[in-house]
């Protein structure tokens, strides 16, 4: 009898498995594919490896501007892909090593709830074994969504699962959906020289972020040559001998491949959830935000399957840790959803934490905002990367409730604002600290100063 059986070894499940050692819990981790899940094998990590290749390409292409003379760069797609695989493999073997060290029993197979405290594990050969556990954490993750008319064939019409392993660089690409996945692929493909059309049904790229940040990103993508079609619904495609024709708004464009990036759907079928009494809402699992407990006794849910929480690897990590803490101690240690950073790894990066101005206002806050462009920041000028801004949303006479950073290293810079939002810092408190000069972080420092009512530059 295990203390915990975890179904699914992605970030939510594996974080729970690793964290359990802090409490001396015995753990079985059931995984049908590879420990690491979408994030490590088909998501965050391989995508960021490709984006790094694109960043290096851009840097080399612009090297002459900073006095480094080299030949114009050429993309070695196969080598970039092998390097991406090597990064994934290194992390995968590290993770497997950590599982052994923490004495997690990793069971290969498909897990299914089969009565209270019982999980059936079906191996690839069909053999079923049964394990008993005092509690179960379901962390079965998500898969790319499809849209009507766009039948995913893995060749002409693909999802990010396929795009991360394209055998060669597609020259003409239509990306449908300008969320995090669509924007990141559009950015990297354009940087590497592909022709990209980016379609988004809503009225801005990366619709969840501050409109001003989205404008900076859209401008930067435009400069790379991405043709952006916001507020545009595509119609069903026509596959031709030379490619795929994507019709939209009375026009059409022919591309080699269409990448569908319109969101991810939870994987909850076949896991025995409803039979166990777990509540579902359109496939997502209803779980208590304080404990991650579902409606079924002893059954927890974490990660992308949870209704209403962000589909982000690090949210999954946090939910896995929260579930384990509740299992071990009986005390709720809720995830601080208010201060989870979001990073979109486009060039430039877009990062945010807390509420956007619009979200704050519609939540009833009386807010003021402070914007600071990075064009005057010394380090940004030195790096030749001056597209960007910092925006801080402050409750009037109160704490910082949200922030957005666009620009080089925005994904790192957002973390100081994460503390400000998480600790509900007043601008005057946050502005009291001195940022090193010259750094990109000075843009944040300047914004905090402005928010405190006394700006410098
Ligand atoms: P998403 O939900 O972030 O974006 C999908 C976009 O597609 C939305 O902007 C939506 O308006 C648009 N869309 C939907 N149907 C459409 C249609 N028929 N035509 C045109 N546009 C359409 O989903 P995405 O980008 O697929 O990512 C999935 C999940 O993974 C998200 O929760 C995302 O936050 C997460 N993720 C996070 C990353 C990061 O943090 N860097 C990177 C990749 C994914």
Q: What are the tens digits of pLDDT across the range 419-453?
A: 999 999 999 999 999 999 999 999 999 999 999 99
CB 312 within 8 A of CB 342: yes
pLDDT of residue 307: 98
- CA separation for the pair 126, 198 (Å, rounded): 42
What does DSSP say about strands 128-138 and 243-248: parallel, antiparallel, or unpaired? unpaired
Nearest ligand 1 atom to alpha carbon 232: 20
Nearest ligand 1 atom to alpha carbon 264: 28
Interval 42-99: pLDDT, tens: 999 999 999 999 999 999 999 999 999 999 999 999 999 999 999 999 999 999 999 9
Active site residue 229: no
Catalogue all structural domains in the chain, each as residue range(s) with its CATH number: 2-144+265-337 (3.50.50.60), 157-262 (3.50.50.60), 348-451 (3.30.390.30)
pLDDT of residue 143: 98
- CA separation for the pair 262, 252 (Å, rounded): 20
* Residues above pLDDT 90, as percent of the chain: 99
- Give every CB contact of residue 86 below 8 A, 6+ residues apart in sequence: none
Cβ 50 under 6 angstroms from ligand 1: no
Kind and range of the H or E run holding 401: strand 400-407
Mean of the pLDDT values across residues 111-134? 97
pLDDT of residue 18: 98
Interval 243-267: pLDDT, tens: 999 999 999 999 999 999 999 999 9
Other C-beta atoms lying within 10 Å of the C-beta of residue 138: 34
C-alpha count within 13 angstroms, C-beta hemisphere, residue 342: 25
pLDDT of residue 304: 98
* Residues above pLDDT 70, as percent of the chain: 100
Token pair belonging to 341: 């950073």
CB 249 within 8 A of CB 230: no
What are phi and psi for residue 21, nearest 5 degrees?
Answer: -65, -25
pLDDT confidence tier of residue 287, bands split at 50, 70 and 90: very high
pLDDT of residue 48: 98
pLDDT over threshold 90, residue 455: no
- CA separation for the pair 184, 454 (Å, rounded): 36
pLDDT over threshold 90, residue 28: yes
- CA separation for the pair 310, 141 (Å, rounded): 12
Task: Give which of 408, 334, 157, 155 is closest to 259, Cα–Cα.
Answer: 157
Q: Whose CA is nearest to atom 22 of ligand 1?
A: 177
Catalytic residue among 52, 229, 372, 437: 437
Nearest ligand 1 atom to alpha carbon 147: 18
> Best substitution site from 230, 263, 306, 316 to test ligand 1's pocket, by max atoms within 8 Å of Cβ?
263
Q: Is the peptide bond before 49 cis (omega within 30 degrees of 0)?
A: no
DSSP helix/strand/coil, 322: helix
Q: Average per-residue pLDDT in the chain?
A: 97
Interval 390-419: pLDDT, tens: 999 999 999 999 999 999 999 999 999 999
pLDDT confidence tier of residue 457, bands split at 50, 70 and 90: confident
Residue 421 buriedness (CB in 10 A; 0-12 / 13-18 / 19+): buried
What are phi and psi for residue 303, nearest 5 degrees?
Answer: 90, -155
Measured in Å, residue 144 CA sits from the centre of ligand 1 at 9
Cβ 349 under 6 angstroms from ligand 1: no
Interval 349-398: pLDDT, tens: 999 999 999 999 999 999 999 999 999 999 999 999 999 999 999 999 99
Q: What is the pTM of this model?
A: 0.97
Q: Whose CA is nearest to atom 32 of ligand 1?
A: 311
Token pair belonging to 349: 């990066």
Measured in Å, residue 207 CA sits from the centre of ligand 1 at 9
Bridge partners (DSSP) of residue 196 are 173
Mean of the pLDDT values across residues 164-178? 98
Interval 321-355: pLDDT, tens: 999 999 999 999 999 999 999 999 999 999 999 99
């Amino acid at each position: 009898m295990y203390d915990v059986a975890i179904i699914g070894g992605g970030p939510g499940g594996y974080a729970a498995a690793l964290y359990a050692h802090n409490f001396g819990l015995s753990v079985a981790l059931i995984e049908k594919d590879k420990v690491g899940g979408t994030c490590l094998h088909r998501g965050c990590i391989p995508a960021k490896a490709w984006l790094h290749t694109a960043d290096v390409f851009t840097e080399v292409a612009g090297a002459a501007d900073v006095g480094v003379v080299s030949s114009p760069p050429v993309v070695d797609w196969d080598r970039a892909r092998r390097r991406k695989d090597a990064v994934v493999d290194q992390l995968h073997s590290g993770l497997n090593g950590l599982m052994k060290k923490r004495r997690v029993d990793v069971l290969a197979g498909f897990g299914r709830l089969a009565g209270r405290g019982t999980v059936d594990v079906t191996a690839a050969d069909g053999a079923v074994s049964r394990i008993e556990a005092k509690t179960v954490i379901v962390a079965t993750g998500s898969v790319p969504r499809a849209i009507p008319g766009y039948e995913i064939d893995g060749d002409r019409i693909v999802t990010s699962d396929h795009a991360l392993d394209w055998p060669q660089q597609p020259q003409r690409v239509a990306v449908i959906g300008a969320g995090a996945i669509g924007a990141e692929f559009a950015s990297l493909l354009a940087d590497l020289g592909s022709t990209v059309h980016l379609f988004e049904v809503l009225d801005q790229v990366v619709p969840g972020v501050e409109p001003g940040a989205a404008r900076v990103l859209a401008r930067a993508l435009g400069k790379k040559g991405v043709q952006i079609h916001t507020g545009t619904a595509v119609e069903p495609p026509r596959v031709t001998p030379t490619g795929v024709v994507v019709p939209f708004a009375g026009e059409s464009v022919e591309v080699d491949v269409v990448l569908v990036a319109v969101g991810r759907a939870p994987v909850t079928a076949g896991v025995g959830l409803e039979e166990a009494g777990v509540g579902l809402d359109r496939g997502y699992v209803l779980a208590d935000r304080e404990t991650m407990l579902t409606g079924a006794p002893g059954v927890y849910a974490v990660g992308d399957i949870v209704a209403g929480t962000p589909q982000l690897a690090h949210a999954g990590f946090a939910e896995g840790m929260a579930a384990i803490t509740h299992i071990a101690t009986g005390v709720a240690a809720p995830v601080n959803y208010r201060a989870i950073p979001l990073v979109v790894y486009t060039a430039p990066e877009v990062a945010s934490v807390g509420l956007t101005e619009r979200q704050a206002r519609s939540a009833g806050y009386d807010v003021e905002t402070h914007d600071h462009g990075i064009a005057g920041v010394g380090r940004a000028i030195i790096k030749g990367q001056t597209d960007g801004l910092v925006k801080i949303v402050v409750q009037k006479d109160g704490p910082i409730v949200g922030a957005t950073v666009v620009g080089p290293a925005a994904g790192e810079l957002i973390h100081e604002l994460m503390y400000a939002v998480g600790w509900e810092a007043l601008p005057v408190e946050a502005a009291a600290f001195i940022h090193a000069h010259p750094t990109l972080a000075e843009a944040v420092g300047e914004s905090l100063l402005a928010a405190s009512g006394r700006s410098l530059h």
